[in-house]
Amino acid sequence: MPTPTLAEVPMSDGSLPVGVERREFDGTERLATRGEPVYGEPTDGEWRAWNPHRSKLGAMLALEMETGLSGGESVLYLGAASGTTVSHVADFAGPTYAVEFAPRPTRDLLEAGAPRPRLFPLLADARKPETYGHVVESNVDAIVQDVATRGQARVALENRRFLDDDGRLLLAVKARSEDVTREPAGVFDDVCATLEDGYELLEQRRLEPYHEDHLGIVARPR
């Protein structure tokens, strides 16, 4: 079945962080933040559209998951890649630490961060938080994780040390990165069971129609 277009997936007036709005671009209501464009997204003055088909967190917001984000919070973003999503986060959040392992996308991430004084790109491995623990502040308000690797739950558990006791983990689990041979539902069950070693799971939702075989999870530390 073809993926629905943005116009075919209406978004209602659910709660959004301050600094994120639903605005009209070319006749279609879309999420948007204020900031310099990064990936060729449509703009309207200082506002730029946030494409949930290219952003797991954008999909979570479009699907009205209760992320706990209110705007202005400190964020540790794991798996920042070239900055598509984390640039939107830095548009509305406070200090935003963006961890990316691969040098090539990190160069693009640096460009995305240049006009964003609250965005701090870090060339580091999210599986080894001790390598950036001296840079990231303790007790961040949110961890946003989009790391396409085996052991995604373990990455979240290893980085739990940075999260405030009342903070939120916003995790996008990619089933095919865990095990391409298994059914996604079984993979998601295993990831959730592992996460419960350190987190209380508050909400889980498949991210279709925006991302196939992905699960969005909202959790808080135990």
Whether 101 has a binding-site annotation, put simply, is yes
Q: Do residues 117 and 91 touch, judged by C-beta distance below 8 A?
A: no
- Characterize 177-199 residue by residue with b for buried, 16 or more Cβ atoms within 10 angstroms of its Cβ, and e for exposed: bbeeeeebeebbeebbebbeebb
Whether 149 has a binding-site annotation, put simply, is yes
d(CA 55, CA 184): 19
Place of tokens 């279709």: 208
Whether 140 has a binding-site annotation, put simply, is no
Place of tokens 């961060």: 113
Instruction: Please report, as a single letter, which amino acid is at residue 154.
Output: R
Instruction: Please report, as a single letter, which amino acid is at residue 119.
Output: L
Whether 147 has a binding-site annotation, put simply, is yes
Whether 148 has a binding-site annotation, put simply, is yes
Whether 84 has a binding-site annotation, put simply, is yes
Whether 146 has a binding-site annotation, put simply, is yes
Whether 172 has a binding-site annotation, put simply, is no
Give bridge partners of residue 143 from the DSSP assignment.
Answer: 76, 169
Chain centre distance of CA 77: 7
Q: Do residues 153 and 174 touch, judged by C-beta distance below 8 A?
A: no
Binding residues for S-adenosyl-L-methionine: 84-85, 100-101, 125-126, 146-149
Binding residues: 84-85, 100-101, 125-126, 146-149
